[in-house]
Every structure is written in structure tokens, then in C-alpha cells.
Amino acid sequence: MTDDDHLPTYLLAALRMAAGADPVPGRVSTSARAAFALRLPGAVVASPAEVGPGVGARSEGRPAMYRFDADGLTLDVEVTVADGRLDVAGQVSPAPGPGTRIEVRTPGAGSSRVPSETGHFAVTGLPPGWVSVVCHRPGRAPVATRWLHVRD
């Protein structure tokens, strides 16, 4: 091995020293890789839509309600935190066809469900924090909600 074999390494080291740049901290690289792993290439990101006021017995102290629309689909999402765990329930409308799967994602865990014939789904026991819901339909791009930050 000659000095020419190490030229790119020496050159990069010299450029870093000249620029006064420190290496990226390990935790930053780890966080960036984790965020990159959460991407959904080709997914359609649903836009938030207005949710009307609640009525009846559940209108007081109700869970956080969100509505998202995209690609002819509406995702209604209800989020609660109980005993330090996150519960997510919702409905896809219009009711999805066969082969549809709902994925409820968090940075550290996730769970998939087949929605009912009416489009209802529920996932319980997730860690609180960031959550996103994705509707996977056969032959179509997935539709994903934005990431929601849920706290106690």
C-alpha cells in the first residue's frame, strides 16, 4: 500500500482540519438514521381536516381527535393515554376494500391491523410520544398522517 492509496483519507482529514469542523456527534448520526428509517417512499401525506365539535356523553373530556384527508380517503384518529400507554382508534372512510391494512407507527414500535368492514381499527399499549397512522391499500400508494406528538 502506498501513500497514494490513502490520499482520499488524508485529503478529507486535511479539509476537515482546515474548515475547523468537528466530527458529527454519534447521537446525531444515530438520530438521523432512525428518522430516515421512518420514511415511507411513495406515500401520500394526508392533510389535516377540521373535526366538528363532539356531542353527547363523550363530548366532555373526550380523547384527542384528528381527521386527515388524501387521495379520496378520510382517516379519523382518536388518541388516548391510559396508564402510561398510548391507545389509538379510528376509522377509514370510505370503508376500505379487501387487502387493506392499517399501520399505527411510533419511532420505537408499531402495529398493523386489518380494519373492520366499516373501516374501524384500534391499537392499544403503544409507548406515548410520536405516532402516525398509515393506510395501505392494494395497488395504491399508502396514505399516511403527519406525525402527532401525544403526551400524558
When divided into structural domains, the chain yields a total of 2
> Domain limits at 110?
44-53+61-150
Task: Kindly indicate the confidence band of residue 48, based on its pLDDT and cuts at 50, 70 and 90.
Answer: very high
28: pLDDT strictly greater than 80: no
What pTM was estimated for this model as a whole?
Answer: 0.75
**Domain identity same for 87 and 136:** yes
**Domain identity same for 17 and 49:** no
Q: Find the angle CA(129)-CA(135)-CA(136) to the nearest 5 degrees.
A: 125
CB 76, CB 91: distance < 8 Å: yes
Q: Residues 75-84: what's their mean pLDDT? A: 92
Task: Kindly indicate the confidence band of residue 6, based on its pLDDT and cuts at 50, 70 and 90.
Answer: low
Joined together, the cell numbers standing for residue 78 give: 382518536
110: pLDDT strictly greater than 90: no
**Domain identity same for 79 and 117:** yes
Amino acid identity at 108: G
**Domain identity same for 18 and 49:** no
Q: Residues 93-114: what's their mean pLDDT? A: 92
Q: If we measure between CA atoms, which residue out of 101, 102, 104, 107 comes closest to residue 130?
A: 107
Joined together, the cell numbers standing for residue 27 give: 447521537
